[in-house]
Structures are given as structure tokens and as C-alpha cells.
Amino acid sequence: MKHLDLTLPTPEENLAADEALLDLCEAGVEHELLRFWESPSPFVVLGYSNKTASEVHLDVSQHAGVPILRRCTGGGSVVQGTGCLNFTLILRIPKTGPLAGVTETNHHILQHHHYALLPILGNTLEVRGISDLTLADLKISGNAQRRKKNCLLFHGTFLLNFDIELIERVLPMPSREPEYRRHRRHREFLTNADLTCAAVKNALKKTWQAAEQLYVLPFDDIRRIARERYASDDWTFKF
């Protein structure tokens, strides 16, 4: 597996990069990959099937200058920005084994991350809900995936030093929630992990054995996908 630590200039390009890298793996051009990025400015990203009007306070977001985008994977809406570390895994799908289905993939990857971070976060670290990592019952990481025939995209976030009050202002209570949330507001449900970005990156690179760096990227494809999809209101406000 290769690794890539790269934040592109715009939110649209960062979302498009994940999709372009998945396409490369699906086509057999590139290897499996672990990527990291962190947006320097805040934005909301909707899950693929989220309804914009019910998942974001549109007036608050507009007044605060926080753009709204939509990703190609499922899950709920999240707020990105400084202090929120993103990771992306591009993995090949074997015919059998722990990546053969959606549920099995969630379990397999989250167990890897639990094992990797347990020594530095302690034994309150748990896998909860469908695809969350928590410290006790406070969420620090949410994740989602997209599957093609041969490869899958699994990406997620780690709250490390993020403005949780911004999430409280911009996002209403989600339309769906895991049982362990117990209808808690964002500020009562989310927490920052007391870790540096470097600590998380090193732990994940080690557990995924992502030693080799990726140097060549499909920038033309990234810009095209960003322009045609992620910068398009038809895509963002489709639901």
C-alpha cells in the first residue's frame, strides 16, 4: 500500500481526489492507498443521499460563509476544517474475506484503527454504532464507504482540535442517529481526541503498512470531477 499526505486548494478538489484515486485503482492503474488531508477552511459535506434542507441550517451556513458540498459516499452530514483530519483508504475487494461486504468492511477497518490508536488513546477507545470510533460514548471519528466492482473507497474524519460549536451552529440534529447517541446535541456527543495529526498519521500508516509514498496524481481527472460534480449545484442540492 502507498500513502499520500496532500491537501488540495479547494474542498471540491479534495473530494474529487478521493473519487479519482478510486477510479485509478478500479482500472488497475494504481495500488491500494492511504491518504491524509485537512481543509484550511470550514465547509459542510453532505452524505450522498442527505436532504439538504433537513441536514443543514442553510441560513446559518450562508451567513457564516461555510460552503455546502455533497460527497459520493453515504452517512450523515459533517463539518470540515482545521483540526479535522481526513483519511482515505482505497482497497481492493477480494472475492471472500473481511472486505467482501459493507458491514464486514466497516468492522475490519475500524478494528484496524482501534488497534492502531488504542496504545495512545487508552482503553476508553471503542467502536460504536455502524462506523464510529468513540472515547467512552463521545464520538471522535465517523466513516463512510463507496464500493465498485473491484475496489472500494473508505474515508472518514478524526476530530483532533476542531471547533465543535461551529458544528452545533451549522448542523441540526441528524435525521438518523446511532442508538448510543441518545438524542444528545452535537456539543454533548462529539469530542476532540487529545492527539496530534502526526500521531494519527503515523499510527495508521503503521497498521496499514503504507510505507511507500504516492508521487503521481491524476490532476486532470481531479479538476474535471471537481468541476463537473462537486462544484455543481445540481449535484450538491440534488435532494
Region 101-108: mean pLDDT is 96
Starting at the edge strand found earlier in the chain, the sheet holding 151-159 runs 125-128, 132-135, 138-147, 151-159, 84-92, 33-37, 2-5, 212-213
**At the fourth CATH level, which superfamily is domain 2-234?**
Bira Bifunctional Protein; Domain 2 (3.30.930.10)
Could you tell me the residue ranges of all domains in the chain?
Answer: 2-234
Q: Is the pLDDT of residue 29 over 90?
A: no
Q: Tell me, what's the pLDDT at 183?
A: 97
Residues of the chain with pLDDT > 90, as a percent, come to 97
Q: Is the pLDDT of residue 67 over 80?
A: yes
pLDDT band at 194 (very low <50, low <70, confident <90, very high): confident
- Residue matched to cell numbers 509514498: 213
Q: Is the pLDDT of residue 24 over 90?
A: yes
pLDDT band at 76 (very low <50, low <70, confident <90, very high): very high
Residue 58 C-alpha cell reads as 442553510
CA max distance for the chain: 49
Residue 176 C-alpha cell reads as 438518523
Whether residue 239 contacts residue 50, with contact meaning beta carbons closer than 8 Å, is answered with yes
Task: Report the range of poorest mean pLDDT among 27-31, 34-38, 203-207.
Answer: 27-31
Tell me the C-alpha distance between 62 and 64, whole Å.
5
Tell me the β-bridge partners of 229: none
pLDDT band at 27 (very low <50, low <70, confident <90, very high): very high
Cβ neighbours for 85, distance < 8 A, ≥ 6 positions apart: 36, 38, 157, 158, 160, 197, 200, 201
